[in-house]
Structure 1
Amino acid sequence: MSGAESAATVVGPDTRFRLHALTWREDGAEWIVGRRETRTFVAMPEAGIRAIRLLQQGLSVAGCEERLLAETGDEVDVADFVRALIGLGFVAETEGRPVCSDPVPPATLPRLRPEHVRFLLNPLVPLLPAVLVIGALAALVCRPELMPTYHDLLWSDRGSVVIVSGAVVGWSILLLHELAHLAVARAAGVPGRIGFGTRLQFLVVQTDISGIELAPRRHRLTAYLAGIAVNLSAGATAFLLLTVTSSGSATHRLLAATVLWALLPLTFQLMMFMRTDVYFVLQDLTGCRDLYGDSRAYARHLGARLLRRDAPTSDPSRALPAAERRAVRIYSVVLVIGTVLCLAGLAAYTVPAEIRLVITAVRDLQRAHTGLDLADALLTLLSLATIHVLWLTTRLRDRASRRTG
C-alpha cells in the first residue's frame, strides 16, 4: 500500500475498524504479531496486543484509549497505533469500507491444506530419518569399502551423462528438500512460497516460510530442519541400497553418486553466514530477531571505524539486549570470515574450473567427430550459461524488490 493510500484512511476518535485475521505469540517482554497471508509480522508490547483485542471487539479509537487508560493507567495513542497497523496491512475495513492494501503473494501449491500435512508435526515423525541414518552408519561400519569418494561423481565416461544425471537426481532431492519446508510450514498454518534466490555467488532454490515465527518453537525448528532431514534420508537410503547391488554395476555407481548428491549440499547448509537452514536454527535458539541484519550492521560499523577512526557512527548493537548483543557480535565475525573465504574460493577454484570447462567444451565443439561429441559439448555450454543467466536475473529481481519494498 502506498503512503498516499495510508494517509487517505481517516482515523478519528469514533472510527471503528475490522482487522484481518492476525496471529501472535509471546516472545520475552514483547509479542510477535503477524498476518500469515502476507508474511508480515512485527514485535510489539503487551499494550499493543490489548489494543488489537479491543479493536477486534468493535471498540472505537476513543473507546480503546479509555479502556487502556483504565486498565493500565497509561495514555496510549491508539490513533497512531492504528495508522501503523494500516501501514502493515493488518486493517481490512474502516467503518465498513475496505482499506486498500498490497495484494497477497500467492502461495506455492495452494491446494495443499494444513490438515493434509498435519501429521508432519507429530513428534514421532523425525524418528524416520533418524532410523535411516543409524541404519546407514551401521552398514558403513560393517562395509567401509562402500564409502563413496569424489570419483563416484564421475560415474560415466560422458560428461553430458554426468551433468544430466546429476541435474535430475540433484534437483529432485532439492525439490523434495524445499517441499519438506513448505509442507511443515503449511501444517503450522503458514502459506509458504518456493522460488529462486541468491547467496553470494550461489543460485539457490529457497522456501519463504515467513510467519513460522508465530508458531511454537518445536514447530519452527521442525520447519527449519525438514529439508536437511530429507537430504539425510535420501543419502542414507541410497547407501543402504548400495549394500544389495553388485559392485561395479551401473546401478551401484549411480547409487554411490546419489549418496554424494544428497549429502554434499549439507556442507552448504553449514555456511551459516549465508542464512541457510542451520542459520535459522541458530537465530531461533539465540533468541535474535534478525541475527543476519543486526550482525551485518555491526560489521559495517566496525569497518567504518577501522577505515575512518573519526567516523561518527554509533554501535548499532548497543540497543539490543545483552544476550542478543553477544550473539550478534560473535556472528558478525562468522559473517565476515565466511564471506571472505567464500568469495576467495570463488576466485581460486570455481571461476578457473568453469573457465576450463568452457575452453574444453569449445575445443570439443570444434573437433567433434560424432553427433554425440557435439551434443556433449553443447550441453556443457548450455548448462553453464543457464545457471549464470538464472543467477543474474534472480539477483537483479531481488535488488529491484528491495528498492521498491
Structure 2
Amino acid sequence: MTDTAADDQPRIDPSTRVRLHDLAVRRDRDEWIVGRPSTRTFVALPAAGARAVELLGEGCSVARTARTLRAETGEEFEVTEFVKDLTALGFVARIGDRPVPDAAPPRASLPWLRPHRVRLALHPALPVLVGVLLAAAAVVLFRRPDLVPGYRDLLWSPHGSVVLLSGAAAGWTLLLAHELAHLVTARAAGVPGRMRLGTRLQFLVMQTDISGIELAPRRHRLTAYLSGIALNLSVASSLVLALTLTGTGTTAHRLLAAALLLALLPLPFQLMVFTRTDLYFVLQDLTGCRDLYGDGLAYARYRWRRLLRAPRVRPRTPRVTRADDPSTRLPPHERRAVRLYSVVLVVGTAACLTFMAVVTIPLDVALLVRAARGLGPEHGLARNADSAAVLVTLGGINVLWLVTWWRNRRATDRRTRR
C-alpha cells in the first residue's frame, strides 16, 4: 500500500511496485533504446537502466531492483529517482495500487491505415524494384539526352497563371505523396505517424512525425527515412519512360516534361541536412547520434559564446572555457559527428538566410507589387487573371508560412512550459 504526497502524487518507497505500459526495447551500440510506441516517446539508457526497466516490469519492488542491480554491477543506483523519471516520461501505468494519470496519445494521421494493410511497404523486394525502375530511366536518358528536363519545361503554357496554378497543384500533390510514403512505411513498422505543415527556415514544408521509428530495426528505419525520396525518383523514372511514348512538342509531352521536373526539384533540397531533411535523419542514424541537430546547435552556440567572450573582445565578461563545451559529454563517435555537423549547420543556415534576404524577399515583393498593379478595369481579362493567380498563389504561400510558423512556435512554447 502506498501513501500520497502533498501534491496527490503516489509516494514511492522501497517496497513500492510499479506496472509499466507496453514498452519496446532495442539495443543500439552501448546503449538501449526504450520507448512507448503509442505515445512516440523514447529514451536512450545505459545497460543498467535497461536492466532496471526489465526488473520493474517483472514486478520487482524498488528495493529488490536496487539490490539486484548492486549484485550484478557492484554499484548503487537511485531506483526511486529512476521510477520518477520513468513516470515523467509516461512509461508508468500504476504505482502501487494508484493509477498514474496518462495524457491522451498524439493523434495519428489516417488511423484506418493499419500496419497489416501496408506491410508490403517494408518488403525487401521493393527497393530492388525502385532500383530497376531508376536504372531503366537512366538508360533511356543516356540514349535520349533530349529528354533531360530543363527549366523551360515548366513553361508548358503561354499563360503564366495556368503555369503557376498547375505547378502549385502538381507540386503539392507530389509533396503529399512524398509524406504519405513516410507515413505508410512507418505505419508498416508499427509507428502511428502524423502529417502536418511545418517550416524549415524560409521554407514551407509538409512533414511527417514518425517518432518511435527509432525502436524499429535499422532496415525499417532507413526505409522509412528514404521512402519519400524513393517515391520521387520512382515517379520521375516513370515519367521518363512515359515521355518515350509521346511525340516531342505535343501537349502531352510538355505536360509530362513539366511533371518530371517538378518531381525532381525537391531532391536537391534533401541535401540541406542543416534543415533536418530526410537525409539528415539518415545521417543521424548512421553516425549513431541521438540528437545531431540539437547537439550541433548547442556546440555552435558554445563556440560563438567563446568567440564573443574572449578577453580581447569583451574583457569584462566571464570567459567561456573548454569545460563549458557541451560536446565533451558525448561519446567520441558522436562528438566528432556533432562538431562537423555544427559547421554545416552554421554555414548552411547563413547561406539560406542570406539568399532569402537578397533574392527571395525582393523577388516576392516585386512579383506581388506587379500583380497588384495588374488588377483593375483598365487591364484586360488575361492580365487580371494572371495578377489574381500570382496574388492568390504566392501571397497564400507566404501567409500560410507565417500562420504555420506562429502555430508551431506556440505549440513548442506550451510543451516547454509543461
TM normalised by structure 2 equals 0.92
Q: Distance in 2 between matches of 1:187 and 1:135?
A: 28
2:320 alignment partner in structure 1:
312
The one-letter amino acid of 1:52's match is V
The structural deviation recorded for 1:72 is: 3.0
Whether 1:344 and 2:354 are equivalent positions in the alignment is yes
Q: Distance in 1 between matches of 2:22 and 2:35?
A: 9
Query: Residues 366-381 of structure 1 correspond to what in structure 2 (within 5 A)?
Result: 366=376, 369-381=379-391
Q: Tell me, which stretches of 5 or more residues in structure 2 are unaligned?
A: 312-318
Of 375, 379, 386, the match for 2:396: 386
Larger deviation: 367-376 or 352-361? 367-376
State whether residues 33 and 44 of structure 2, in contact with CA within 8 Å, keep that contact through their aligned partners in structure 1.
yes
Whether 1:113 and 2:114 are equivalent positions in the alignment is yes
1:200 alignment partner in structure 2:
201
Residues 126/308 of structure 1: CA separation in 2 closer, same or farther (3 Å cut): same
1:55 alignment partner in structure 2:
56
Larger deviation: 155-164 or 282-291? 155-164
Residues 5/193 of structure 1: CA separation in 2 closer, same or farther (3 Å cut): farther
Q: Distance in 2 between matches of 1:101 and 1:312?
A: 42
2:189 alignment partner in structure 1:
188
Q: Distance in 2 between matches of 1:306 and 1:13?
A: 49
State whether residues 10 and 98 of structure 2, in contact with CA within 8 Å, keep that contact through their aligned partners in structure 1.
no
Number of paired residues? Answer: 402
The structural deviation recorded for 1:397 is: 2.1
Q: Distance in 1 between matches of 2:7 and 2:240?
A: 58
State whether residues 198 and 395 of structure 1, in contact with CA within 8 Å, keep that contact through their aligned partners in structure 2.
yes
State whether residues 116 and 188 of structure 2, in contact with CA within 8 Å, keep that contact through their aligned partners in structure 1.
yes
Residues 240/5 of structure 1: CA separation in 2 closer, same or farther (3 Å cut): farther
Q: Distance in 2 between matches of 1:143 and 1:387?
A: 37
Q: Distance in 2 between matches of 1:23 and 1:6?
A: 30
SS at match of 2:364: helix
The structural deviation recorded for 1:6 is: 8.2
State whether residues 6 and 87 of structure 1, in contact with CA within 8 Å, keep that contact through their aligned partners in structure 2.
no
State whether residues 178 and 227 of structure 1, in contact with CA within 8 Å, keep that contact through their aligned partners in structure 2.
yes
Q: Distance in 1 between matches of 2:271 and 2:320?
A: 35
Q: Distance in 1 between matches of 2:182 and 2:268?
A: 18
Q: Distance in 2 between matches of 1:247 and 1:331?
A: 45
State whether residues 109 and 195 of structure 2, in contact with CA within 8 Å, keep that contact through their aligned partners in structure 1.
yes
The structural deviation recorded for 1:367 is: 5.8
The one-letter amino acid of 1:169's match is A
1:140 alignment partner in structure 2:
141
Residues 7/199 of structure 1: CA separation in 2 closer, same or farther (3 Å cut): farther
The one-letter amino acid of 2:212's match is G
Q: Distance in 1 between matches of 2:173 and 2:154?
A: 16
State whether residues 93 and 99 of structure 2, in contact with CA within 8 Å, keep that contact through their aligned partners in structure 1.
yes
The structural deviation recorded for 1:8 is: 1.5
State whether residues 68 and 76 of structure 1, in contact with CA within 8 Å, keep that contact through their aligned partners in structure 2.
yes
State whether residues 298 and 326 of structure 2, in contact with CA within 8 Å, keep that contact through their aligned partners in structure 1.
yes
State whether residues 368 and 395 of structure 2, in contact with CA within 8 Å, keep that contact through their aligned partners in structure 1.
no
SS at match of 1:18: strand
State whether residues 225 and 279 of structure 2, in contact with CA within 8 Å, keep that contact through their aligned partners in structure 1.
yes
The one-letter amino acid of 1:312's match is V
**Deviation string for 1:185-225 (max 9, x for gaps)?**
11111111100111000010000011111111111111110
The one-letter amino acid of 1:192's match is G
SS at match of 1:8: coil
The one-letter amino acid of 1:263's match is L
Larger deviation: 56-65 or 368-377? 368-377
Whether 1:248 and 2:249 are equivalent positions in the alignment is yes
Residues 366/401 of structure 1: CA separation in 2 closer, same or farther (3 Å cut): same
What is the root-mean-square deviation of aligned Cα atoms in Å?
1.8
The structural deviation recorded for 1:162 is: 1.1
SS at match of 1:110: coil
State whether residues 6 and 83 of structure 1, in contact with CA within 8 Å, keep that contact through their aligned partners in structure 2.
no
State whether residues 193 and 208 of structure 1, in contact with CA within 8 Å, keep that contact through their aligned partners in structure 2.
yes
1:327 alignment partner in structure 2:
337
Larger deviation: 272-281 or 391-400? 391-400
Percent pairwise identity: 57
Q: Distance in 1 between matches of 2:59 and 2:335?
A: 40
The structural deviation recorded for 1:373 is: 3.5
State whether residues 368 and 374 of structure 1, in contact with CA within 8 Å, keep that contact through their aligned partners in structure 2.
no
Larger deviation: 263-272 or 119-128? 119-128
**Deviation string for 1:253-309 (max 9, x for gaps)?**
111111110001001101111100111111111111111111111111111122221
State whether residues 242 and 255 of structure 1, in contact with CA within 8 Å, keep that contact through their aligned partners in structure 2.
yes
The structural deviation recorded for 1:57 is: 1.6
Query: Residues 49-128 of structure 1 correspond to what in structure 2 (within 5 A)?
Result: 49-128=50-129
The structural deviation recorded for 1:174 is: 0.9
Q: Distance in 1 between matches of 2:106 and 2:250?
A: 48
Q: Distance in 1 between matches of 2:412 and 2:126?
A: 37
Q: Distance in 2 between matches of 1:315 and 1:68?
A: 32
Residues 52/150 of structure 1: CA separation in 2 closer, same or farther (3 Å cut): same
TM normalised by structure 1 equals 0.95
Q: Distance in 2 between matches of 1:6 and 1:40?
A: 25
The structural deviation recorded for 1:69 is: 2.9
The structural deviation recorded for 1:393 is: 1.8
The structural deviation recorded for 1:348 is: 2.2
State whether residues 6 and 86 of structure 1, in contact with CA within 8 Å, keep that contact through their aligned partners in structure 2.
no
